[in-house]
């Protein structure tokens, strides 16, 4: 069965975006190195440091599907119908954006209206034995509360944002334990950390 991993770039004080969903300096590490990494998005090539490039290649080669919420989908306009990492996307939503679907008939996007659990199940079907990534924020929080997460991957950026959208937000339970990091990669202006979720 595929692993389910919540993943995001995060500030030292735990934020993944500003209140308006802009990212500030959180993605600077994607453009501060000499290693070119092409993406599925036209005109976007990453420029990573060597350590981050190796980490990125391992991460994306294992990735089979992505689960995101409607807020991120709308903010990116569904990545124009093709996610930057070229993986199928499952969107958790209250209503299917029919105009967008009609405008992107071949896009590998699924829209699930009956909750995060169903969305993760659908993503697992799509991914097979490969990793299912879930975006941070509300989706990651719900997955954690439902016991669906296997790991939490944090690209820790040395910046303090002061306020914004937190990685998990307010949990229904206190003190959810994670294991010691199974991955710790020091990049340029980022540290890549992967924590197993204790069961």
Which pLDDT does position 175 carry in this prediction? Answer: 84
Is residue 199 over pLDDT 80? no
**Per-residue model confidence as pLDDT tens digits over 52-90:** 999 999 999 999 999 999 999 999 999 999 999 999 999
User: Is CATH 3.40.430.10 the right assignment for the domain spanning 4-196?
Assistant: yes
**Per-residue model confidence as pLDDT tens digits over 141-155:** 999 999 999 999 999
- Sign of the dihedral through C-alpha 111, 89, 186, 45: negative
| CA distances from residue 150 to 2, 95, 106, 134, 199 in whole angstroms, order as listed | 9, 28, 31, 11, 9
Angle between helices 116-127 and 138-145 (to 10 degrees): 90
Is residue 52 within 8 A of residue 185, CB to CB? The reply is yes
**Per-residue model confidence as pLDDT tens digits over 17-65:** 999 989 999 999 999 999 999 999 988 999 999 999 999 999 999 999 9
DSSP string, 143-191: HHHTT--SEEEEEEES---SSSEESS-S-SSS---BPPPSEEEE-SS-E
The model's pTM is 0.94
């Amino acid at each position: 069965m595929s692993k389910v991993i919540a993943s995001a770039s995060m500030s030292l004080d735990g934020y993944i975006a500003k209140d308006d969903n802009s990212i500030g300096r959180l993605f600077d590490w994607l453009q501060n190195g000499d290693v070119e990494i092409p993406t599925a998005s036209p005109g976007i090539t990453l420029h990573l440091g060597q350590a981050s490039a190796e980490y990125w290649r391992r991460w994306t080669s294992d990735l089979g599907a992505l689960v995101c919420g409607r807020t991120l989908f709308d903010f990116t306009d569904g990545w124009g119908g093709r996610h930057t990492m070229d993986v199928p996307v499952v969107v958790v939503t209250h209503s299917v954006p029919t105009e967008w679907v009609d405008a992107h008939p071949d896009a590998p996007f699924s829209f699930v209206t009956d909750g995060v659990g169903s969305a993760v199940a659908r993503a697992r079907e799509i991914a097979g034995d490969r990793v299912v990534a879930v975006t941070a924020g509300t989706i990651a929080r719900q997955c954690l509360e439902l016991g669906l997460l296997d790991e939490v991957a944090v690209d820790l950026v040395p910046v303090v944002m002061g306020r914004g959208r937190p990685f998990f937000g307010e949990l229904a339970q206190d003190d959810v334990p994670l294991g010691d990091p199974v991955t710790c990669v020091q990049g340029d202006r980022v540290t890549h950390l992967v924590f197993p979720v204790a069961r």
